[in-house]
Amino acid sequence: MPSKINLLICVFILHLWAVNSVTGQNVGVYEIKKGDFSVKVTNYGARIISVFLPDKHGETGDVVLGYDTIEEYKNDTTSFGALLGRVANRIGGAQFTMNGTLYKLVANDGVNTLHGGIKGFSRVVWNVSKYQQDGPYPHITLTYHSADGEEGFPGDLLVSVTYALKNPYKLSVVMKAKALNKATPVNLAQHSYWNLGGHNSGNILSNVVQIFASHITPVDQSLIPTGEISPVKNTPYNFLKPREVGSQIKELQSGYDINYVVDSTEKMKPVAIVYDEKSGRVMDVQASAPGVQFYTANSLNQKGKGGYVYQPHAALCFETQGFPDAVNHPNFPPTIVTPGKAYVHKMLYTFSITKYWNSY
Ligand SMILES: *[C@@H]1O[C@H](CO)[C@@H](O)[C@H](O)[C@H]1NC(C)=O
Ligand SMILES: *[C@@H]1O[C@H](CO)[C@@H](O)[C@H](O)[C@H]1NC(C)=O
Ligand SMILES: *[C@@H]1O[C@H](CO)[C@@H](O)[C@H](O)[C@H]1NC(C)=O
């Protein structure tokens, strides 16, 4: 009997989601699904709210941190699963000069701008423009019109993100932006917090990580890049060979929170591989962006799904993106998007299962 009631409630909730997908502006939850692989997304901040994957025993588990309700996402300060913009990461002094004009942005991280400002793109409601729950190409496309002057950024900007599932166990994220009338900096990033052992399985310090990057962009005390590009060789930042995340973390103040310069010059670049021994889950990250912010959730202390409290190092983030504060560093790859030239940032997560790291 209780399961019948649950089913009725489910059908009712699914009906609400369907209504929301038509009206667009309302906040809803949308699932895309391929067998035992499923991802839930909300149009509040274009956020990924769950990723279910099988482990080596065939048991599915949720491998991203998050909340049970949209109300909690509205209070969120961690950016769990968010699509960040107009400019992800930090802009020093909350300002930049472009073609001789000084642009003042909203400061929300001391004197700096972090993740696009107070609302950025992660605390706004996106439109749902395409949605296919299952079948050969489960996907959802969300769009957002960012107005001229929003958070201090110049020009209207049309942004979209498509989350799609591909065989076998691939999640593709395609972020696009089009400047409608003025040149503007754009740096979109996906900010999921990954714990391949399960969102409520404790810390990730024993995960084995490899990052395909020989250099980082060092930062000052307020996490603004100094402009240097320095080698990882002989530092705790060296993940060129796979090793446990926690093996040198104590040499850092609180953990990893740094932009790596990805080595590959291919269109889709190998970025990182993570292996969790307990579950056997492996995540391979590729992206078209030149950098990746590697973050080990250093300051986390947040009640999340099922009331579980996420502590520091409960997850790993691989925020592929342009370099932080690129607008103030002419030696970094440019992030200015001009009208008529589209911005595209592609990511591909490939998940697999292995019993032994060596056999991967
Ligand atoms: C959101 O934050 C407010 C203020 O701190 C709090 O009163 C409220 O309970 C929070 N809501 C949720 C759903 O956590
Ligand atoms: C800067 O100004 C030059 C000359 O007016 C123009 O060609 C160029 O597109 C401008 N660049 C940006 C980023 O606005
Ligand atoms: C959503 O779509 C409507 C209709 O096209 C448009 O007027 C509105 O600006 C869009 N909202 C956002 C947030 O992009």
Two tokens, residue 104: 């003042």
pLDDT tens for residues 124-183? 999 999 999 999 999 999 999 999 999 999 999 999 999 999 988 999 999 999 999 999
Pick from 17-21, 160-164, 191-195, 301-305: least confident: 17-21
pLDDT reading at 80 higher than 60:
yes
For the Cβ of 72 lying below 6 angstroms from any atom of ligand 1, the answer is yes
pLDDT reading at 278 higher than 50:
yes
Give the ligand 3 atom nearest the CA of 143: 14
> Ligand 2: distance of its center to the CA of 155 in Å?
14
Higher pLDDT, 111 or 24: 111
Give the C-alpha distances (Å, rounded to integers) separating 175 from 186, 345, 352: 11, 5, 24
Write down the pLDDT at residue 356. 63
Residues making up the annotated binding site for beta-D-galactose are 89-90, 191-193, 257
| CATH tag for 29-353 (out of 2.70.98.10, 2.40.33.20, 3.90.950.20, 2.130.10.10) | 2.70.98.10
Residue whose C-alpha is closest to residue 56's, from 210, 205, 196, 243: 196
> Ligand 1: distance of its center to the CA of 42 in Å?
19
pLDDT tens for residues 84-124? 999 999 999 999 999 999 999 999 999 999 999 999 999 99
* CA pair distance 161, 243, nearest whole angstrom: 32
Angle subtended at Cα 172 by Cα 21 and Cα 279, rounded to the nearest 5 degrees: 105
Mean of pLDDT values over 248-268: 97
pLDDT reading at 11 higher than 50:
no
pLDDT reading at 5 higher than 90:
no
pLDDT reading at 358 higher than 90:
no
46 contacts 82 by C-beta, under 8 angstroms: yes
> Ligand 3: distance of its center to the CA of 24 in Å?
8
Name 131's Cβ contacts closer than 8 Å, sequence gap at least 6: 21, 30, 139, 140, 141
Quickly state the pLDDT bin for 28 (edges 50, 70, 90): very high
Two tokens, residue 66: 């998050």
Q: Using a cut of 0.85, tell me whether the model's pTM lies above it.
A: yes
Write down the pLDDT at residue 167. 87
pLDDT reading at 233 higher than 50:
yes
Name 251's Cβ contacts closer than 8 Å, sequence gap at least 6: 236
pLDDT tens for residues 301-357? 999 999 999 999 999 999 999 999 999 999 999 999 999 999 999 999 999 998 765
Write down the pLDDT at residue 357. 58
Write down the pLDDT at residue 323. 98
Quickly state the pLDDT bin for 360 (edges 50, 70, 90): very low
Residue whose C-alpha is closest to residue 116's, from 77, 150, 144: 150
Residues classed as catalytic: 191, 319
pLDDT reading at 24 higher than 50:
no
Give the ligand 1 atom nearest the CA of 71: 13
> What are the residue ranges spanned by the domains of the chain?
29-353
Give the ligand 3 atom nearest the CA of 158: 14
**Helix, strand, coil shares, percent, the chain, to 5:** 15, 40, 45
Mean pLDDT, the chain, integer:
93
